[in-house]
């Protein structure tokens, strides 16, 4: 799947998590509402992390394209940080 599609999905997850957080905060304070809030907050953080990752990948692709236009033969390849795997299912997480 193309990066813009991944980015759109991550933004949709961010908006969904934000709505979930708002719903949980509107409820009376109970262990269940606190758990719902924490789940929403976790999903929000994961979505924001994915957005940052996809934005960085998009910038890297554009740099490769620009390097090709100016005649650079080599451009450093992207390598995932140690302890993380790449791929559409994991969104960059192990």
- The string of pLDDT tens digits covering residues 27-73 is 999 999 999 999 999 999 999 999 998 888 878 777 777 877 787 76
Report the predicted TM-score, pTM, of the whole model to 2 decimal places. 0.64
Confirm whether 28 is domain-assigned. yes
Confirm whether 74 is domain-assigned. no
Confirm whether 90 is domain-assigned. no
What rounded mean pLDDT belongs to the chain? 81
Predicted confidence at residue 27, as pLDDT, reads 96
Confirm whether 50 is domain-assigned. yes
Confirm whether 64 is domain-assigned. yes
Predicted confidence at residue 76, as pLDDT, reads 62
Confirm whether 19 is domain-assigned. yes
Q: Percent of the chain scored above 70 by pLDDT?
A: 76
Q: How many domains does the chain have?
A: 1
Query: Residue 21 in contact with residue 41, Cβ under 8 Å?
Result: yes
Conformation bin of residue 87: beta by default, left when phi > 0, alpha when psi is -120 to 50: left
Domain ranges, residue 49: 3-69
Confirm whether 81 is domain-assigned. no
What is the pLDDT averaged over residues 9-27? 96
Tokens of 67: 């390097």
Greater model confidence, 21 or 6: 21
Greater model confidence, 18 or 65: 18
């Amino acid at each position: 799947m193309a990066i813009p599609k991944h980015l759109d999905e991550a933004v949709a997850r961010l908006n969904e998590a934000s709505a979930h957080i708002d719903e949980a905060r509107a409820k009376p304070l109970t262990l269940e509402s606190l758990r719902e809030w924490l789940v929403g907050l976790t999903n929000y953080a994961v979505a924001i992390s994915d957005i940052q990752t996809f934005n960085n990948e998009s910038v890297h692709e554009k740099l490769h394209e620009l390097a090709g236009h100016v005649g650079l033969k080599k451009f450093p390849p992207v390598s995932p940080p140690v302890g993380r795997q790449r791929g559409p299912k994991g969104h960059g997480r192990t």
